[in-house]
């Protein structure tokens, strides 16, 4: 593990110009709900990231990191402390080996932009994640996945910043201890600054095929899932030990199975929050829903599954800014 940037003295607790106050977050998440950030920073490089962390420590503020808000539900009361929204947008290509190149991407780059950039430069692999919203930072955080493809298959190195010291470190893929919907970033002690991916150098024909595959993946996703006003799958799948129902000799761990059985798809709603008609595990803001509406809808779904099956779905969506846990 290589230390790249070392912190200096902690600055005076005066609010730096790069940090703003009472910034609305409603337009910074896919649910389009939630209150304001008490303090807000959008660092564009490692130094600005360090400065934001120094400010938070000097002011003894809690820190919340949000990417593109594609997997977050923010409290109607907003978020106390400092909200950091990484806006590191660097993209560059470097040699790797005879058959691959490495692509370095800042944490604030959208996966959409990264995939387009790669295909424009005849690099393939990441098109498997086409149509999934989010930033590089958020995607590494959850080890983005689609069918058998995991982002961990492509990541080789990354830069992370220590939440407490502000030191920027170079780490390899093993550091992340990747799992399903999991990386070591979940411990909250480090944040992603940038990631480097190993991608295949493609021929013109291979790139054309990858672009066609990307178009088909996106067509399939948009037909099957809602693509606005939602965080995607709201509840995670169950773990083996949490369920007893068997199907085909295996534990039925898929939460959508239970949600389909209780008949909520396209029917259950609270205000302008509704369970999608396309997928029973996706909650949608149809325009004027509040976070309270979405929480009430999610709790009702939990209660219905509990009453019928004796198990309680737990959220995959990140719940931010709530003084108390709002679900069962």
Whether residue 68 is contained in a domain is answered as yes
User: Could you tell me if 235 and 260 are in contact, meaning their C-beta atoms sit under 8 angstroms apart?
Assistant: no
- Structurally, how many domains does the chain consist of? 3
Give the SS3 label for residue 190.
strand
Pair (77, 146) in one structural domain: no
Domain of residue 34: give its range: 2-84
Q: Is the pLDDT of residue 10 over 50?
A: no
**Domain CATH code at residue 202:** 3.30.465.10
- Is residue 198 within a helix (H) or strand (E), and if so which, with residue range? strand 190-201
Examine the fold and report which residue of 50, 84, 118 is the final residue of a domain before the chain moves on. 84
Between CA 162 and CA 311 the distance in angstroms is: 37
Q: Is the pLDDT of residue 9 over 90?
A: no
Whether residue 166 is contained in a domain is answered as yes
Pair (276, 217) in one structural domain: no
pLDDT tens for residues 286-328?
999 999 999 999 999 999 999 999 999 999 999 999 999 999 9
Whether residue 6 is contained in a domain is answered as yes
Pair (217, 136) in one structural domain: yes
pLDDT tens for residues 184-214?
999 999 999 999 999 999 999 999 999 999 9
Q: At what angle do helices 111-120 and 204-224 cross, to 10 degrees?
A: 160
Alpha helices in the chain, H assignment, sequence order: 46-59, 111-120, 136-141, 204-224, 255-261, 291-309
pLDDT tens for residues 66-88?
999 999 999 999 999 999 999 99
Whether residue 218 is contained in a domain is answered as yes
Whether residue 234 is contained in a domain is answered as no
Mean of the per-residue pLDDT values of the chain: 95
**Domain CATH code at residue 253:** 3.90.78.10
């Amino acid at each position: 593990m290589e230390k790249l940037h070392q912190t200096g003295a902690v600055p005076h607790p005066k609010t730096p110009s790069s940090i703003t106050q009472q910034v609305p977050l409603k337009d910074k998440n896919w649910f389009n709900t939630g209150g304001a950030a008490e303090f807000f920073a959008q660092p564009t490089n490692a130094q600005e990231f360090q400065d934001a962390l120094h400010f938070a420590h000097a002011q003894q503020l809690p820190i919340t990191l949000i990417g593109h808000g594609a997997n977050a539900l923010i409290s109607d009361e907003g978020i106390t402390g400092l909200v950091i929204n990484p806006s590191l947008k660097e993209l560059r290509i470097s040699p790797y080996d005879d058959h691959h190149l490495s692509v370095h991407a800042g944490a604030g780059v959208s996966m959409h932009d990264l995939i387009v950039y790669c295909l424009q430069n005849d690099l393939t692999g990441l098109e498997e994640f086409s149509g999934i919203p989010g930033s590089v930072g958020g995607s590494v955080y959850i080890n983005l996945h689609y069918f058998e493809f995991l982002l961990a298959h492509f990541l080789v190195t990354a830069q992370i910043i220590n939440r407490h010291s502000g030191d920027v470190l170079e780490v390899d893929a093993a550091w992340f201890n990747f799992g399903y919907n999991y990386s070591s970033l979940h411990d909250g002690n480090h944040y992603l600054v940038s990631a480097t991916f190993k991608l295949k150098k493609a021929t013109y024909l291979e790139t054309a095929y990858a672009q066609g595959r990307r178009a088909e993946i996106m067509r399939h996703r948009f037909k099957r899932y809602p693509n606005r006003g939602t965080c995607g799958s709201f509840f995670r799948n169950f773990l083996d030990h949490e369920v007893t129902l068997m199907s085909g000799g295996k534990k039925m761990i898929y939460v959508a199975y239970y949600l389909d059985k209780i008949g909520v798809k396209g029917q259950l709603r609270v205000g302008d929050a509704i369970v999608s008609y396309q997928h029973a595990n996706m909650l949608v803001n149809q325009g004027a829903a509040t976070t309270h509406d979405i929480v009430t809808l999610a709790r009702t779904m939990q209660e219905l599954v509990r009453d019928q099956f004796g198990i309680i779905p737990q959220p995959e969506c990140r719940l931010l800014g709530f003084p108390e846990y709002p679900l069962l």
